[in-house]
A and B are shown apart, each in its own frame.
Chain A
Amino acid sequence: MAQDILVPEVSDGVTQGTIIGISVAAGDRVEEDQTLLEMETDKAVVAIPCPFAGTITEVLVEEGDTVQVGQAIMKGEAGDGGAQAQPEKTEQEKPAPAAETAPEAASEAAPEPAAPPAQEALPPAPAAAPAPPAADAHVDQALDLSPVRTGDRVAPAAPSVRRLARDLGVDIYQVQGTGPAGRISEQDVRSFVKETMQRITGGGPAPVATGEFPGLHAQRPLPDFSKWGPVSQEKLSKVRDITADAMSYAWSTIPMVTQYDKADISELEAFRREFNLKATPETKLTMTAILIKVCAAALKAFPQFNSSLDLAHKELILKHYVNIGVAVDTPGGLLVPVLRDADTKGIEKLAVELNETAVKTRERRISPADMEGGTFTISNLGGIGGTAFTPIVYAPQVAILGVSRSVTEPVWNGREFAPRNMMPLSLTYDHRVIDGADGARFLRFICEAIEKPINLVMKG
């Protein structure tokens, strides 16, 4: 029985995506969970798995198409239809016993009371738009006879409630009923619409009303660059587009200050190198992993660094969890996967998680959900170089730590200049939330914890 394959909900707030690769063609046999296509959303590339084992009968989208969550992308048949399987369109009626017994003394079946198979509504075609008599192939496309949800129990809702859902464009099967045995009331349908709208618009009035000014994404007319030489155009990737938006929003709305400091990592580096002699690529200890733990401790000691500013309600939202984002350079652009509950994990565990996450991110196998919920960010450019830089706060977070390349410097120890391995750190913070003195204290805490790790346990 042909069924539609829909774009699943991939992550909270993700409503659409762009098809970037289709892995199957009509007629292909597929396994359950086999990847059908890849979709680039605001946050990541998501592989859309096949919900059943069977045969793909039709591919409804092309690469480059933008699709909505819930939209049909392919049609397929579950089960062992051969690769040549034609969509079976004759299973509309359940054969009544009578009909199977045609000749000779057949019997007349009792009137069949079974609930008919639920059928998907066709998109309403404009009335009075008669199509010419079509060839069979066309007819197959014109008439979607695929019944849906035959395996499920029908939605527990009264006819009037189902009608309301239809009028509001709500799929009744997505509504969670609150009545006995999950019965769906009119109120449940209305709540569903309300919650969905809130999720999409972020609640309350549209973003424009919360203070985003029209000039934020403004662009002056560009000159014709080809006057001065050959040029070519490249379409912005989704990641680039989103990054541009996020950065211009942060840069234009957050008064930022960057505070610099240096940490002496001589002893820590010695320990790290020794540790790594026994480590595998999976367990390898990186400076970033250590910094995650150190920052987590700092965030517990300075909770205002682990917050978000809600100007609309004149509130500071303090988070009682510590999720640290790590900027990862990928061929497709900068992505920031998040390591959760860093304050509760040991450095070894964080190192393993970070190594795994970094690989997944570079291969773009990371899910959008894995990039949500960060409370603080670390951007480590030490592997590339530089003496210092000014990272931009990743709104709605309030602080970000930049790391540059450590170098051996002469450091005066009171008696003489000694060669010490010094790591430059740049802390950018939202000056609306954090005062300069606290910024300096926070960065000092980090440096001191690196230099004398005993501090980590001394203060929390």
Chain B
Amino acid sequence: MSEKIGIPESAKLVVIGAGPGGYHAAFKAAELGLDVTLIDPEENPGGVCLHRGCIPSKALLHVAKVVNEAAESAEIGVTFARPEIDVDRVRGWKNEVVGKLTGGLGMKVKQLKLTHVRGMASFKNSKTLLVRSHDGDEGEIVFEQAILATGSRPFMLPGVQTSDRIMNSTGALDLNDVPGSLLVVGGGYIGLELGSAYCAMGSKVSVVEMTKGLLPGCDRDLVSQLKRRLDKQFETIMLSTKVAQLKEQKNGVMVSFEDKKGEVTKKRFDKVLISIGRRPNTENLGLENTGVKVNERGFVQVDGQRRTAEAHIFAIGDIAGDPMLAHKAYAEADVAAETAAGRKAQYDPRAIPAVVFTDPEIAWCGLTETEAKEQGIKVKTAKLPWRGNGRTLTLGREDGMTKLIVDPETDRVLGVAVAGPGAGELIAEGVLALEMAAVSEDLRKTIHPHPTLSETVYDAAQSLFEG
């Protein structure tokens, strides 16, 4: 697909990195009339999200959903044969999905007439980039403005290398095989999503988490909805437990665990997935040759327009700070592209939704109860279990919860959280409510379709009605 494009000598706007932040910024800037050069090592845009993250993991989670629903449907009188997983075909289908999406982005690069340089870039100084293309060409681009969107990569345990048996999320998504037993190190959303997928495909999955709960930062009542189900599916969930040692052996990985009392136990697993967080890709970019400032956690410091300390260089997405989420990068990309095009823009979202695509899904936006407590903010909450919701029961489920967090004085919605199947879709209403500064009355006076899961938002808002 890639024709050979030489490295241009100069550029009006250079976008470095073609993940969700980078390609979105490049497209937006081009639509606003800027002459855009996009630099990325891959053949087509997509970044981690499309190539090694959100999209392939959701494909595998769909497989998990099909398997689990088939197994659970025996309860409602429909029995399937035990599923056979053709790993090659699953992998092939997943890659097909990724190929379609990234190919579509590649077409858009051409339609918008971006200069797409396949390669890597680093700063020689604050006006010049050193570029090495994937086929070995080297060159320098003198640019007027730049948007940095180089993303992040998985964090590894110190002294541990990835191998056939020790994977990070990238390796797990490659889906080389379905191991008999899998240890997931880290109880965050990536570990739980991939653990769920491998579990459904037949692996015996164990999770080890250093803190005292899964999904640190998420309200416990939501997590408990998920944990009840995972407790049944997974072999073990070890909380407040550290991994003291990983030893690769011929037939597996020997892992030493240390619990909070200091007791050490050992267990062997076929494979280990390390999912303990991600770190921004801000090294090897030559940022030290510019005035761009990077904080001690490796994030580039930016202002409300996503400008770095060098006003003509922007930074967006994972390198510009938490949360490291594609949809946050999109929003920042818009702001940076509009600002680069001379428009007034400001990154000031009221809420950035978070979704954990496990089963049940967990999604939330705005203020959490945990934060309200930490910050001493007075709130009123409405928590509606899905047990009484018609659609939930007709899906063969009983779990799920919708939670509204409102200001007790003004009734203004401060936070929305959902746990249950499809929570990731339902949360969009909550984000809109927060952006529009809705009060709970707005939600309970909005007609929600029946019978749907969205009625739980309506019902939760009803329960906040006071005369």
Contacts and interface: CB of A to CB of B under 8 A. Distances in A.
B296 interface: yes
Contacts of A127: 144-145, 312, 340-342
A166 interface: yes
A179 B342 CA distance: 33
B344 A166 contact: yes
B153 interface: no
A411 interface: no
A130 B144 contact: yes
A303 to B, nearest CB: 46
A108 B191 contact: yes
Contact of B323 (A112, A119, A138, A154): A112
B402 interface: no
A229 interface: no
A97 B368 CA distance: 15
Interface string B315-334: 00000011111000000000
A258 to B, nearest CB: 57
B437 A157 contact: yes
Contacts of A128: 12, 144-145, 312
Q: Interface residues of B toward A: which range?
A: 35 or more
A233 B80 CA distance: 101
A304 B437 CA distance: 51
Interface stretch (B63-71, B133-141, B297-305): B297-305
Interface string A233-249: 00000000000000000
A89 interface: yes
Contacts of B105: none
A157 B244 CA distance: 50
Interface string B366-391: 11100100000000000000000000
A115 B186 contact: no
A121 interface: yes
B188 A154 contact: no
Interface string A96-125: 111101111111111111111011111011
Contacts of B346: 119, 121, 162, 166
Contacts of B436: 158
Interface stretch (B18-26, B82-90, B170-178, B350-358): B350-358
B307, B355, B407 — which one has the most chain A CB atoms within 10 A of its CB?
A: B307
Contacts of A94: 322
A156 B145 CA distance: 34
Given A103-B157, A158-B435, A180-B411, A122 B210 contact: no
A437 to B, nearest CB: 61
Contact of A89 (B191, B297, B301, B324): B301
A145 interface: yes
A223 interface: no
A450 B442 CA distance: 67
A89, A112, A142 — which one has the most chain B CB atoms within 10 A of its CB?
A: A112
Given A124-B344, A180-B411, A106 B277 contact: yes
Given A92-B321, A110-B216, A122-B311, 7 more contacts: A92-B302, A108-B190, A108-B277, A110-B188, A121-B346, A181-B412, A182-B410
23 contacts: A89-B301, A96-B217, A99-B277, A107-B186, A107-B209, A107-B210, A108-B191, A108-B276, A109-B215, A111-B189, A111-B325, A112-B354, A113-B353, A113-B366, A115-B366, A119-B348, A124-B339, A125-B312, A127-B341, A133-B126, A145-B302, A158-B437, A180-B412
